[in-house]
Structure 1
Amino acid sequence: MSLTSLSTTRRRLTGYWASATIHLIAVAFDLRVLRMASKAALMPALASWVRAQQGPPLLVAALLASAVGDLLMEVDLILPAMAMFAAAHACYIAEFTQGTSRRSLVIPAAYGVLGLATMVALWPGLGSYRAPVTAYAIMLLATAVTSLWYGGRAGLGGALFLASDTLIAARLAGHDFPLRAFLLKTAYGTGQYQIALGLTGPTAILRRSGGCPLEA
């Protein structure tokens, strides 16, 4: 990578973290306009960094779908937002499962138990959201499982994404608590970055070239 390209990628990554920091400040102080503006910039900034890194197209597509989902969520269009995030998860799952690998069954078993316990706890309060949340939870858990199959860094991102969306589901079920929104945004922003980092690092590049099979 040339010095010019390196400088460009650093600027774009700085833009992402600046947007993330501003967004957290806006959430903490309930600054609605700033919150929406910073949220709108968040995933496009990360997608721009991924493109500068020559990251996989499915990752860019997932981040852009997430960007649309973010905006829909900000205006309380919950079901359309879930559909966009489901599309993002489909892209992630497709990217994580490319190539051959030995895949441990312990990972889906553990996440399955966690997911079932969470749904049982939230089920009474979900009401009309029960069916869509269940369908979305399956996609979310699949991302968490396949990301960990892919690698540790991506797996951390998948786990944080799962945590952030669990906090959204808790609100839909009528459970709220101080700092819930702040923790949600922190987990989401960090999780998406960890996924992006896991899919653009040297090991990921080698895997896409066929030089390093996926193992778990």
Structure 2
Amino acid sequence: MREQRDDLQKQLDAATDEVEKAKKQAADASDRLVRLQADWDNYRRRTAQERLDERERAAEKLVVNLLPVLDDMERASEHASKTAGDDENLKQFVDGVNAVHDKMLSVLAKDGVEVIDPVGEPFDPLVHQAVGREENKDAYDETVAQVYQKGYSMGGKVIRNAMVTVTYGGPKRPAPKQEDDSKPKDSAKDATDPGKSGDAK
């Protein structure tokens, strides 16, 4: 009787071990499945981003190759406008060139292309390329005086810097004022509005 009980206990222990092994194998398989799923998701995201980057690079290259065409159209329009006089045919030609130019810019704008034409703006070496300096005592130092070639950005990224001349000899540009977010906007406005100063009568 005791031997039978011992045999049954051994069989029970062996069965318990098998169950534990099966549970461990199932857990390992589940972990592998989770890792495979994560790897697959990462692969899909990575390849999707790579395709997106490739399309963006191709679109940027196309736009960069089109920029000289826009430059030529602007120069042709400017030259023809100066020499047109009363020549109606030449005026119509200028109007046609301008219409095509504006249409091209409109199409490019749908892809996030923006013109950089910074006359009067502070010089920014990240966006502008200085090709000369102009003395101007009436303008702040480091102000864009003239634009020799417009710049362009695409999706917020500068794809061609604007070629500009920069002023010197004038006063230093004051530092931009930082708004105090701790004050209510209406109160700040009232404090600077001459119409609301003093006691109400």
If the length of structure 1 is used for normalisation, what is the TM-score? 0.26
Higher relative contact order (CA 8 A, sep 6+): 1
Instruction: Decide which structure has greater helix share.
Output: 1
With the length of structure 2 as denominator, give the TM-score of the two structures: 0.28
Higher strand share: 2
Larger Rg: 2
